[in-house]
């Protein structure tokens, strides 16, 4: 999954037409034929088939290079822009990122493929990034669980923050110490 910094109002990704253009410019079938090893299938949206909340198949932005170019022009980016894809270490196939890089060049998006170490990637994920994070998000049937594993997520139903399992070491240590103190008090 590519996760753009679309909340940044100064980012090209803030415009839904740019995000749709990127989706149209990626030939998922070709990528899966080359890198899917016969076991992976293309994903046209975050939620997999059979999961509540999945959008109708008619919503999917299947490969259409001319539609991608049209959307880029409508968004004011006919000449494109430069960005980066930050690959999640040890999880994503960097060769797929390179294939996406090549495909996005066809709509004038110049992409630098970055491969930070785990600490660098976590700093991006829990801070701010300029570009797109490339990571695996379809791990669990409950999408909120997958999102909470990778990001801090606000659960609108209970207004609870779900803290990611990937936390800085000192934060985990402090949480462990607090829990141990609370357990010691309850044992008394």
Q: What is the pLDDT along the chain (188 residues), one digit of tens a residue?
A: 888 998 889 999 999 999 999 999 999 999 999 998 888 777 777 766 776 667 777 776 789 999 999 999 999 999 999 999 999 998 889 999 999 999 999 999 999 999 999 889 888 887 788 999 998 765 555 565 566 555 555 555 555 555 555 555 566 566 667 777 776 666 66
- Euclidean distance between CA atoms 13 and 7, whole angstroms: 8
* Residue 68, both tokens: 């991608």
* Residue 50, both tokens: 């059979």
The SS3 call for residue 17 is helix
- Euclidean distance between CA atoms 39 and 103, whole angstroms: 23
What pLDDT is stored for residue 159 in this prediction?
Answer: 52
Categorise residue 53: left if φ over 0, alpha if ψ from -120 to 50, beta otherwise. Answer: left
What pLDDT is stored for residue 86 in this prediction?
Answer: 96
- Euclidean distance between CA atoms 134 and 91, whole angstroms: 9
CB atoms within 10 A of CB 186: 7
Residues near 183 by Cβ (< 8 Å), separated by ≥ 6? none
Query: Can you list the alpha helix ranges (DSSP code H) found in 106-159?
Result: 118-125, 143-150
Q: What is the DSSP letter of 136?
A: -
The SS3 call for residue 111 is strand
Name the pTM for this structure: 0.74
* Residue 144, both tokens: 């909120």
What pLDDT is stored for residue 91 in this prediction?
Answer: 84
Among candidate residues 72, 69, 88, the one with its CA nearest the CA of residue 137: 88
In 3-state terms the chain splits into helix, strand, coil percentages (rounded to 5) of: 45, 15, 45
What pLDDT is stored for residue 7 in this prediction?
Answer: 84
């Amino acid at each position: 999954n590519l996760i753009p910094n679309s909340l940044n109002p100064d980012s090209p990704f803030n415009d839904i037409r740019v995000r749709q253009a990127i989706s149209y410019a990626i030939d998922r079938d070709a990528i899966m034929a080359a890198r899917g090893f016969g076991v992976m299938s293309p994903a046209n949206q975050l939620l997999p088939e059979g999961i509540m909340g999945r959008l109708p198949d008619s919503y999917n932005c299947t490969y259409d290079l001319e539609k991608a170019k049209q959307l880029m022009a409508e968004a004011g980016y006919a000449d494109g822009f430069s960005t980066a894809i930050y690959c999640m270490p040890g999880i994503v196939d960097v060769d797929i990122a390179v294939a996406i890089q090549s495909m996005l060049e066809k709509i004038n998006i110049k992409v630098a493929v970055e491969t930070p170490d785990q600490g660098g990637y976590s700093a991006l994920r829990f801070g701010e990034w300029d570009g797109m994070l490339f990571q695996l998000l379809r791990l669990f049937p409950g999408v909120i669980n997958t999102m909470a594993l990778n990001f801090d997520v606000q659960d609108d139903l209970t207004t609870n923050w779900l803290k990611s399992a990937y936390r800085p070491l000192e934060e985990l240590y402090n949480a462990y110490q607090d829990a141990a103190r609370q357990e010691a008090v309850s044992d008394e």
